[in-house]
Amino acid sequence: MSPNTRRSQTAAAVAAALLVAALIWFAALVDLTKVGDPLTLFLIALAIAAEVLSVRFERRLNISGTDTCYLVALALIGTGSAIVVAGAALLASYVVERYRTRALLINLAGVFVPILIAGTVFEAISAPHASGDDAFLPGIAIASILALGLNLAIVLPLMALLDGVRVRSLAPALRTMAGALMFQAAFVVASAGIYARFGTEAGIVAVVLVLSYAYMTRLVLVSRERTRQYANLSWGILSGLIRTLDVRDSRAARHCAAVARFSRDIAKAEGLGERDQELAHTAGLLHDIGKFALSDRVMDGSTDLTDEDWQGIRRHPSIGAELLKDIGVYGPVAEIVGAHHERMDGRGYPRRLPGEEIPAIARIVAVAEVYDTLTAPDTYRTPMNSFEALNELRRVAGTQLDGHFVEVLAEVLAGQGTAYRHADEADFDAELDIQRRMNEAAAT
């Protein structure tokens, strides 16, 4: 039996055990006399509609107005009605979507157990529809937060186990859901309070408004999910291009990783914010992506270059900038990549920008790139040690490089070991950390 199969069976077994326990508890202790109440039937209909319109995150998490419906049922009618509302919605969704049976078991367990626990706590604090009780609204709030929190605590790890993924990989989706779930808890309190104070019609209007909010949330989250998919595609293409470049020139990936690391550390030592540090790191990682357009003969570096070859080399920053802009990676990276071969004296390429007209992070990347080129063992020339390389950087400071950032790099290197100073083991995959980048791009 494969590890994936064992994990899937374990998740299903735990869910089944929780579900059986919940059903025994439900049958023994829950009052079903109000399940046929018109309000229960109305909430069942709304919950089914809300579940069908739910937003799913990577097939493991979902958000809908169903939670609101069963929590309102819990507050106004009782635990039995809440179970029926939730169960009807989940079964209807299963019939429509035909998703995995094991996932259905997890969803049912992840709703029934929290409802029973939250219902018990709520009944200990107050009582359904007890509008005159000062503990009524606080009790609803506590029960709602408890039910939603327990739902995530059960469903999240079991679905991660079922699909063979790490729970932390769902963290971005969980953060997206957290705000919406807190709003749902607040809306449940408001809806129940309005119903208890003003009657059935006002309560129904409040519930419908809550579900309208859930539907609008769905539209926003669908948009964010599409953005995440677009970010996945963009970063997948970019990392594929760098890997292809590395096949043509085995130095490329290590060099890009080293420049990324040095650029980020210079930016940090300079006191730039986290966003600019990440910008420097990303630009360093992608600074040579325009070399993808160079010929194999130029990339090989073993032959004398013609004037035409040099023209192509001088165009690679512009090509890289256009590529990044077209693929859709956030804008400043393209500008930095396009300017990383400009010089302080205005004699660089492709635009001959002088001094302060060169973006500061592009000047940082330029310092990092020249330093790694001088010290790396996989370049065309005999590598320098760190001391020699810093002397060379200082020699061209003010003409080719920004002298201030040369000295910042010297501070960064002070006290570091040889492994850091020469970046022989710089790892492209580690610096790329593509999953994090995809998630962050989707969240912006």
**Segment 291-321, tens digit of pLDDT:** 776 666 566 555 666 777 677 678 888 888 8
| Cβ(62)–Cβ(55) below 8 Å | yes
Lowest mean pLDDT among 51-60, 226-235, 237-246: 51-60
Write the pLDDT tens digit of every residue in 70-95. Answer: 888 888 888 888 888 888 988 888 88
Q: Hey, is 56 helix, strand or coil?
A: strand
Say yes or no to pLDDT of 41 above 90.
no
Give the containing element (helix H, strand E) for 61: strand 61-63
CB neighbour list of residue 150: distance below 8 Å, 6 or more residues apart: 113, 114, 117, 118
Q: Do residues 181 and 193 make contact, with C-beta atoms less than 8 angstroms apart? A: no
pLDDT per residue over 147-199, tens digit each? 888 888 888 888 888 877 776 666 655 665 666 667 667 777 777 777 666 66
Task: Give the sign of the dihedral formed by CA 122, CA 123, CA 129, CA 130.
Answer: negative
Neighbours of 102 (CB within 10 A): 18
The per-residue pLDDT for 58 is: 43
pLDDT band for position 214 (cuts 50, 70, 90)? low
Note the pLDDT of residue 61: 46
Radius of gyration (C-alpha) of the chain in whole angstroms? 30
Write out the DSSP string of 162-208: HHT--GGGGHHHHHHHHHHHHHHHHHHHHHHHHHHHH-HHHHHHHHH
Cβ-Cβ contacts under 8 Å for 206 (sequence gap 6 or more): 190, 191, 194, 195
When pLDDT is cut at 50, 70 and 90, the band that residue 343 belongs to is very high
Give pLDDT, residue 55. Answer: 46
Q: What's the pLDDT at 371?
A: 94
Topology given in CATH for the domain delimited by 249-443: Hypothetical protein af1432 (1.10.3210)
Please work out, in degrees rounded to the nearest 5, the angle formed at the alpha carbon of residue 427 by the alpha carbons of 426 and 428. Answer: 120
pLDDT of 60 higher than 50: no
Per the model's pLDDT, the better-predicted residue between 297 and 45 turns out to be 45
Higher pLDDT, 29 or 410: 410
Tell me if the pTM is above 0.75: no
Q: How far apart are CA 350 and CA 318, in angstroms?
A: 7
Mean pLDDT of 375-393: 83
Tell me the average pLDDT of the chain: 78
Rounded distance, CA 382 to CA 389, Å?
12
Is the predicted pLDDT of residue 37 greater than 50, yes or no? Answer: yes
Tens digit of each residue's pLDDT (9 = 90 or more) over 261-271: 999 999 999 99
Cα–Cα distance, 329 to 403 (Å, whole number): 30
Question: What CA–CA distance (Å, rounded) separates 76 from 54?
Answer: 24
Comma-separated ranges of CATH 1.10.3210.10 domains in the chain: 249-443
Q: By the 8 A CB rule, do 19 and 154 touch?
A: no
**Spatial distance between the Cα atoms of 266 and 412, rounded to a whole number of angstroms:** 7
